[in-house]
Amino acid sequence: MASKVTLNINSSASKFLMNVITTEDYQHTYWPKLDSAIDQLLTQSPGDCIPISYEQIYSCVYKCVCQQHSEQMYCDLITKITSHLRRVSEELQVSSPDTYIERFNAALSQYMGALQSIVPLFIYMNKFYIETKLNRDLKDDLIKLFTEQVAEKHVPTLMPLLIEAQSTPFKVTPSTMANIVKGLYTLRPDWAQLAPSLFSKFIPNILPPALESKLSEYAAQDQKLQRELMQNGFARGDQSRKRAGEELMFNGSASSSCANTRGFR
């Protein structure tokens, strides 16, 4: 009887040992799967269907957390995404002024969309390592990475282009302008002080309350905007242009809705 019990214990111990994930297992089997999945998520276009098994990746993360590989997995994830964002920043640096705003918007939207898949996949690591031991949150850490590796390096170039585009009606689509301004404000609210007038169009309570003493100044600004619109062919009473403008806004809104399916909250 005793030998039978010993045999059962040894069998259970052997089974447990067979499920142990060694450092070599993590480095050569588990992390490569995660690395490949992260690559695909970071480079996908909005609406793309990624050929990866979310269940398999989720299970892979869970097993690594249970086997005490959370710290290494977190370091590998941060290193991976940092490297990706440095490449994104370098590509933006060689963009022409004519495409700079659109390319920054594409990079911002693509990254924020990727986070909506990456963060849930690493939920166990976030809960049992990042929140517990580091007292932080994975999504906050990854947004901070974009701020440091991309946005902070490009805001000095981006902001003057946005201000210039603001003064030229329809040089940049309203959806693109809104996405960038709201995105920058999410990354660092103090950036609104670089262009209060621009940010106030998309973020409430940026500017101080209107003053009665400045009503004439506000009216002059409105008249200036109307003159600029007329100079660009948007004359009052021209219903054909009004309808074209409405169609443009509709298409822009539909495009924005599609692009932002995996964008900001």
CATH of domain 23-229: 1.20.1310.10
Q: Are 164 and 182 in contact (CB under 8 A)?
A: no
pLDDT at residue 18, rounded to an integer: 45
- Any long-range contacts for 66-71 (C-beta under 8 Å, 24+ apart)? 67/20, 67/21, 67/26, 69/21, 69/23, 69/26, 69/30, 70/125, 70/128, 70/129, 71/129
Tens digit of pLDDT for each residue in 217-243? 756 766 765 676 566 555 444 444 444
Q: Is the pLDDT of residue 177 over 50?
A: yes
The pTM (predicted TM-score) of the whole model is: 0.72
- pLDDT band at residue 109 under the 50/70/90 scheme: very high
Tens digit of pLDDT for each residue in 6-26? 444 444 443 444 478 999 999
Q: Is the pLDDT of residue 41 over 90?
A: yes
Q: Is the pLDDT of residue 207 over 50?
A: yes
Which of 2-16, 168-182, 196-210 is the most confident on average?
A: 168-182
Q: What's the average model confidence in pLDDT over 42-61?
A: 82
Q: Which residue has the higher pLDDT, 43 or 50?
A: 43
The structure tokens listed for 124 are 């166990």
- pLDDT band at residue 247 under the 50/70/90 scheme: very low
For 209, list phi and psi in degrees, rounded to 5.
-55, 150
